[in-house]
């Protein structure tokens, strides 16, 4: 944990697993199950500062408080490679980073990711990605609220 981080308490509106809390002042748990067989991560929710840079001519730094999962127990595929120390949520739930940024009036509830020929990836929050990036649509899975993309070429 960093000097600016705080554990999310069970009485927070962001705590979706309040029923699994031990009292209202306990630390809010998270549990994420993944499509990969028996792959999951669980731990506690933490709020911290994410430093963003505006995409205008001024390039101002914006301090945005976001919530992420501080991993404590991983299973499945996470054990085969390297277990994550935390999860940076880009899902469709209200606790995802784009949703939190939107609820605080910083961006719209969307993001884009771009992987350049230089091997460097960038993420932009809001509706506008880089002007030089191409687009592909998400394949929205209605049964499980996840998305993925179809690769059509390099």
Q: pLDDT tens across 32-81, in order? A: 888 777 888 899 999 999 998 887 778 889 999 998 888 888 888 888 87
Distance between CA 4 and CA 131 in Å, rounded?
Answer: 33
Q: pLDDT tens across 4-16, in order? A: 999 999 999 889 8
Q: pLDDT tens across 25-40, in order? A: 799 999 988 877 788 8
Q: pLDDT tens across 113-131, in order? A: 777 778 788 888 887 666 6
- Percentage, residues of the chain above pLDDT 90: 18
Distance between CA 127 and CA 80 in Å, rounded?
Answer: 36
The fold for domain 6-149 equals: Cathepsin D, subunit A; domain 1 (2.40.70)
Distances (CA, A) of 10 to 28, 52, 64: 5, 28, 21
**Closest by CA position to 8, among listed 25, 33, 32:** 25
Residue 119 CA neighbour count, 13 Å, CB half: 0
Q: E strands within the chain?
A: 6-7, 29-33, 40-53, 61-75, 86-87, 111-115, 121-125, 138-141, 146-149
**Both structure tokens of 119:** 């091997």
**Both structure tokens of 151:** 């690769």
CA dihedral 133, 35, 5, 92 (to 10 degrees): 60
């Amino acid at each position: 944990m960093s000097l600016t981080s705080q554990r999310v308490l069970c009485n927070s509106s962001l705590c979706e697993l309040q029923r699994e809390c031990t009292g209202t002042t306990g630390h809010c748990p998270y549990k994420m199950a993944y499509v990969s067989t028996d792959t999951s991560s669980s731990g506690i929710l933490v709020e911290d500062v994410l430093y963003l840079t505006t995409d205008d001519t001024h390039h101002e730094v914006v301090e945005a408080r976001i919530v992420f999962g501080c991993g404590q127990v991983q299973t499945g595929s996470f054990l085969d490679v390297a277990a994550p120390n935390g999860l940076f949520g880009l899902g469709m739930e209200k606790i995802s980073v784009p949703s939190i940024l939107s609820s605080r009036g910083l961006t719209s509830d969307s993001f884009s990711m771009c992987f350049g020929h230089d091997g460097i990836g960038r993420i932009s929050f809001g509706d506008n990605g880089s002007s030089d990036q191409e687009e592909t649509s998400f394949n929205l899975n209605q049964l499980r609220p996840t998305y993925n993309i179809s690769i059509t070429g390099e």
